[in-house]
Copies of this chain bind each other. A is one copy, B any other.
């Protein structure tokens, strides 16, 4: 709103001085030139590279050397927040963090193995991903609770897209090298998003789209687990529901071993039961946190004891002990698939960031502090770049593990370091133990994590509030389920942008009326009590960008109204419309088509013998109307700061005419 006013009689209104009041009419046309496109771009880019003072005012006095040192310290603290919170870190916090880290590791180890399986990698790669990225994040990240490592959706994304280039079963070496290349590029993209302050790119996936996408991905991941749960040998590489159901249907005709199904189901029920207990009795939450680990141990011991693998129960078999090996040589940036890898990397980078920032923000808001989106992107990006060099795939913040970390009382990212070290010890000492772990138990661990991704209540709320948003949500869901992950994302993005275009396209014109006894003009549709001024028709253009897509519609709507008013009021004894006031207060910007529409409206009104006035244009609009000579055509005297002034002037002018006649 360019200008609005309290009700005149308001008792608290400030003392009124006629002499001090500036001439509002001159103010509109003499308003300063808005920043040009070039200045705006320079401003945005400049801001991106200026280091921000982090709250603490850098002293105004002092010599050059201390200021320089303090600037370096500030910059370092900016990049490594650990330097800031590390100083106040206490032994008590450390004790909490160690407990939280151990709990986290007990959940993280089985999940990592399961997600590696989902990403079609050997189990150790999931564990590697739980070692390096959390360490890097611990010194660079701003979230205190987030647990970094492999997550379900990104694992699915990677495998579903990369296996179109290389088959993980037939050529695991090429597949792995593509995975590391994608991870490296995803990290580079994330770092550049952070450096260039492109955090807004994450917003392109709206909340509604994420709700639908996550729910679709959860069902797809669940369907993929049927392979492990049923112990199938043949399965499809497609992720859509139709292919998977077909594959399961045809595989069930082969001989299959109910042992797998039995193991998977019983441990799934066990994990879900412990989670139920954990939710019911808050102090037993750790039961649900360690139940996956217990499941792995129990099932492995059981299979080893009964030699069930000889009777058709599928086991992991491929295990490889030891620290993360270097994978720098497996990253191929000038290979034949680099363009495809870059495409996959950008999708993974955005999805991973979206998840991490959503998780981080929700827990930060519980604890009452703020995440810095750009720093988070830097931290995530460097974690993934470092990860890609040490045999990790794309890591991000996991919702389920972050919740456990939070409940276990984590105070800082030290819990991530503790988890990382625990996983490292597991990699060194206990890897051989995993040889007999049944695949079905991994499936049940993944399955047990999925319900958290499906948020039916949120979808229902979206439906209640905004039908178009629900359409985005539904589009993402159906696209992921029946097409593929990329199709789901493309549909969601398409609907989201179409929403903006449609919103710009809808004719947004409101006839205004005066609220009785006040000088407030408001839409007569929204406030039916408002009364129309008989001979002046104030019309508000309700779009922030009067442009090619809506200019004609708005123009025709206005001309139709004015003609309607003129025609219907001709015969009756009602006063004829003598002036139209166009309220441009909502119009932030205008393009040449919008200016042409204003000219056409003016021409049409002149031909009908009606005066046109413009009220409260924004500075961009003023500037462009001046340059394109719309101001000259309409007349400088007919541009006002408020609708009220414009209406008064029109009434005065029409009275003058009436007297002359």
Task: From A7, A34, A209, A461, name the one whose CB has the most chain B CB atoms within 10 angstroms.
Answer: A7
Contact B549–A500 (Cβ < 8 Å):
yes
Residues A588 and B365 in contact in the complex (CB < 8 Å), given A206-B593, A521-B4: no
A346 CB, nearest partner CB in chain B, Å: 18
1/0 contact string of A365-384 vs chain B (CB within 8 Å): 10010000000000000000
Contact A647–B6 (Cβ < 8 Å):
yes
Task: Classify chain A's interface size.
Answer: 35 or more
Contact A592–B465 (Cβ < 8 Å):
yes
Q: Considering the complex, which residues of chain A in the window 24-67 have a beta carbon less than 8 Å from any beta carbon of chain B? A: 24, 27, 31-32, 34, 36-37, 40, 55
Stretch at the interface among A179-187, A425-433, A510-518: A510-518
Q: Considering the complex, which residues of chain A in the window 450-503 have a beta carbon less than 8 Å from any beta carbon of chain B? A: 461-462, 464-469, 496-497, 499-501, 503
Contact B31–A591 (Cβ < 8 Å):
no
Flag whether A418 is at the interface (Cβ < 8 A): no
Flag whether A116 is at the interface (Cβ < 8 A): no
Contact A552–B4 (Cβ < 8 Å):
no
Q: State the CA gap A206–B548 with chains docked (Å).
A: 5
Residues A12 and B465 in contact in the complex (CB < 8 Å), given A7-B645, A208-B592: no
Flag whether A651 is at the interface (Cβ < 8 A): yes
Q: Kindly identify which residue among B1, B36, B504, B619 contacts A526, using a CB–CB cutoff of 8 Å.
A: B619
A156 CB, nearest partner CB in chain B, Å: 24
Flag whether A90 is at the interface (Cβ < 8 A): no
Contact B465–A624 (Cβ < 8 Å):
yes
Flag whether A627 is at the interface (Cβ < 8 A): yes
Q: State the CA gap A627–B463 with chains docked (Å).
A: 11
Q: State the CA gap A206–B592 with chains docked (Å).
A: 9
Contact B552–A203 (Cβ < 8 Å):
yes
Flag whether A8 is at the interface (Cβ < 8 A): yes
Contact B1–A627 (Cβ < 8 Å):
no
Flag whether A262 is at the interface (Cβ < 8 A): no
Contact B1–A585 (Cβ < 8 Å):
yes
Which residues of the partner chain B approach A464 to less than 8 Å between Cβ atoms?
Answer: 627-628
Which residues of the partner chain B approach A593 to less than 8 Å between Cβ atoms?
Answer: 203, 206-208, 469
A587 CB, nearest partner CB in chain B, Å: 9
A527 CB, nearest partner CB in chain B, Å: 6
Residues A462 and B3 in contact in the complex (CB < 8 Å), given A16-B8, A31-B526: no
A56 CB, nearest partner CB in chain B, Å: 10
Stretch at the interface among A268-276, A440-448, A536-544: A536-544
Contact B520–A5 (Cβ < 8 Å):
yes
Residues A519 and B651 in contact in the complex (CB < 8 Å), given A203-B548, A496-B548, A542-B544: no
Contact A4–B1 (Cβ < 8 Å):
yes
Flag whether A545 is at the interface (Cβ < 8 A): yes
Task: From A462, A465, A624, name the one whose CB has the most chain B CB atoms within 10 angstroms.
Answer: A465
Q: State the CA gap A628–B207 with chains docked (Å).
A: 15
Ranked 3 nearest A-B pairs via Cβ: A6-B644, A5-B5, A206-B548
Q: State the CA gap A616–B20 with chains docked (Å).
A: 28
Q: Which residues of A contact B (CB under 8 A)?
A: 1-10, 12-14, 16-18, 20-22, 24, 27, 31-32, 34, 36-37, 40, 55, 199-200, 203-209, 365, 368, 461-462, 464-469, 496-497, 499-501, 503-506, 508, 514-523, 525-529, 540, 542-545, 547-549, 551-553, 567, 583, 585-586, 588-589, 591-593, 595-596, 600, 603, 607, 615-616, 618-619, 624, 627-628, 641-645, 647-648, 651-652
A620 CB, nearest partner CB in chain B, Å: 9
Q: State the CA gap A426–B258 with chains docked (Å).
A: 88
13 A–B contacts from the bound complex (CB under 8 Å): A1-B643, A9-B16, A12-B652, A31-B526, A32-B528, A200-B552, A203-B552, A465-B624, A500-B500, A503-B544, A503-B588, A522-B641, A542-B544
| A24-B520, A542-B586 known, 10 other contacts, Cβ within 8 Å | A1-B3, A6-B645, A10-B644, A27-B527, A204-B548, A468-B591, A469-B593, A503-B545, A503-B547, A504-B504
A583 CB, nearest partner CB in chain B, Å: 5
Contact B1–A591 (Cβ < 8 Å):
no
Which residues of the partner chain B approach A583 to less than 8 Å between Cβ atoms?
Answer: 1, 4
Residue of B nearest to A498 (CB): B497
Q: State the CA gap A543–B588 with chains docked (Å).
A: 8
Residues A515 and B24 in contact in the complex (CB < 8 Å), given A1-B586, A10-B645, A525-B619: yes
Q: State the CA gap A600–B580 with chains docked (Å).
A: 40
Contact A648–B588 (Cβ < 8 Å):
no
Q: State the CA gap A206–B503 with chains docked (Å).
A: 18
Task: From A365, A505, A586, A616, name the one whose CB has the most chain B CB atoms within 10 angstroms.
Answer: A586
Residue of B nearest to A652 (CB): B12
Q: State the CA gap A648–B215 with chains docked (Å).
A: 47
A658 CB, nearest partner CB in chain B, Å: 14
Contact B207–A520 (Cβ < 8 Å):
no
A73 CB, nearest partner CB in chain B, Å: 20
Contact A522–B3 (Cβ < 8 Å):
yes
Q: Kindly identify which residue among B27, B55, B466 contacts A624, using a CB–CB cutoff of 8 Å.
A: B466
Which residues of the partner chain B approach A548 to less than 8 Å between Cβ atoms?
Answer: 203-209, 496
A220 CB, nearest partner CB in chain B, Å: 24
Which residues of the partner chain B approach A520 to less than 8 Å between Cβ atoms?
Answer: 3-5, 24, 641-642
Residues A591 and B516 in contact in the complex (CB < 8 Å), given A522-B3, A585-B4, A645-B10: no
A89 CB, nearest partner CB in chain B, Å: 24
Which residues of the partner chain B approach A596 to less than 8 Å between Cβ atoms?
Answer: 207
Residues A651 and B1 in contact in the complex (CB < 8 Å), given A592-B208, A624-B466: no
Q: State the CA gap A145–B540 with chains docked (Å).
A: 35
Contact B16–A517 (Cβ < 8 Å):
yes
Contact B6–A4 (Cβ < 8 Å):
no
Q: State the CA gap A462–B643 with chains docked (Å).
A: 30
Contact A615–B206 (Cβ < 8 Å):
no
A115 CB, nearest partner CB in chain B, Å: 28
Q: State the CA gap A176–B269 with chains docked (Å).
A: 70
